[in-house]
Amino acid sequence: MIERKFVAQKIKEFQIEEYITQSLENVGHSHTKMVKTPLGEKIIIFSSRPGLIVGRKGQNIKQLTRTLRKRFDLENPQIEISEVENPNLNANIVAEKIVDALEKFGSEKFKSIGHKIMTDVMRAGALGIEIIISGKVPSARAKSWRFYSGYLKKCGDVATGVRKSNKQAQLKTGIIGVKVSIMPPDIKLPDDIELIETKEVKAEEVKTEQKEEQKKEKPKRRRKKKDESERTQSNE
């Protein structure tokens, strides 16, 4: 019974996230996170343009809370919006930019769109990026075009850290698929080696210090011998 509750909760979270991604278009939506609190369900929406989600005087966000409450039977949903720090390193936002540009300018300028976004992502600090645009681009025959730059892992444990996204652009000629893969700069590669600098101790400096200490100790012993000889002479 407990397992069924967990599965039902995860299915509900997935449905909420899917509904939010479909309803929030052209606002730079990255991903959605759901957290349980004592007051109710807390839904965190990560976006590059939070002002468009809130709307004028919070009208859009109020409408979204109402629909979520009615559609998914949420008691007290609380929506929080957080801004993405670097949108050029987020695969979902980058794929959405490509889709918006294709729907705006058409499939004829797909090469300039791909190269421009690729350079922006690499300037943001990414290790590598791959953009695949497939469909009737630019002719009536379906093709796939690949834009690639930098270093990108496609297999192994390191490939799990690569950010991926799939989007679709609806044009007059048909649907065009957009696939984006970004390798972030904070990923740790197995061949990265860090050299630790150690302080070298010179043997000559140690010897000089020992010699100076010996020189300071020797005259003290001679003075003791002189004092003893003077005492013997005075006694005689």
Q: How far apart are alpha carbons 30 and 82 in whole angstroms?
A: 10
Closest to 28 measured CA to CA, from 88, 69, 80: 88
pLDDT of residue 211: 57
pLDDT per position in the chain (236 positions), as tens? 778 888 888 888 888 888 888 888 777 888 888 888 887 788 888 888 888 888 887 888 888 888 888 888 888 888 888 888 888 999 999 999 999 999 888 888 889 999 999 999 999 989 999 999 998 888 778 889 999 999 898 888 888 889 999 998 888 888 999 999 999 998 888 877 888 887 776 655 555 555 566 666 555 555 555 555 555 555 55
Provide the whole-model pTM.
Answer: 0.72
Token digits for 186?
A: 């904070």
Number of residues that this document lists for the chain = 236
Q: Spell out the residues 6+ positions from residue 79 whose beta carbon is closer than 8 angstroms to its own.
A: 43, 45, 61, 64, 65, 68
Q: Say if CB 88 and CB 119 are below 8 A apart.
A: no
DSSP 58: G
- 125: phi > 0 → left, psi -120 to 50 → alpha, else beta; which? left
Q: How far apart are alpha carbons 32 and 52 in whole angstroms?
A: 16
pLDDT of residue 164: 92
Q: Say if CB 72 and CB 12 are below 8 A apart.
A: yes
pLDDT of residue 210: 58
User: Any alpha helices (H) in 81-143, and if so which ranges?
Assistant: 91-105, 110-123
pLDDT of residue 145: 92
Q: How far apart are alpha carbons 162 and 139 in whole angstroms?
A: 32
pLDDT of residue 180: 94
- DSSP secondary structure string, 128-158? EEEEEEEES-SSSS-EEEEEEEE----SSSG
Q: Say if CB 84 and CB 49 are below 8 A apart.
A: no
Q: Say if CB 90 and CB 84 are below 8 A apart.
A: yes
Q: Say if CB 35 and CB 16 are below 8 A apart.
A: no
Superfamily designation of domain 88-183: Ribosomal protein S3, C-terminal domain (3.30.1140.32)
Q: How far apart are alpha carbons 69 and 54 in whole angstroms?
A: 17
Tell me the CATH number of domain 2-84, given options 3.30.70.100, 3.30.300.20, 1.10.8.100, 1.10.645.10.
3.30.300.20
91-105-118 Cα angle (round to 5): 35
pLDDT of residue 209: 58
pLDDT of residue 226: 52
4-38-61 Cα angle (round to 5): 95
Domain ranges in the chain are: 2-84, 88-183
Q: How far apart are alpha carbons 166 and 157 in whole angstroms?
A: 21
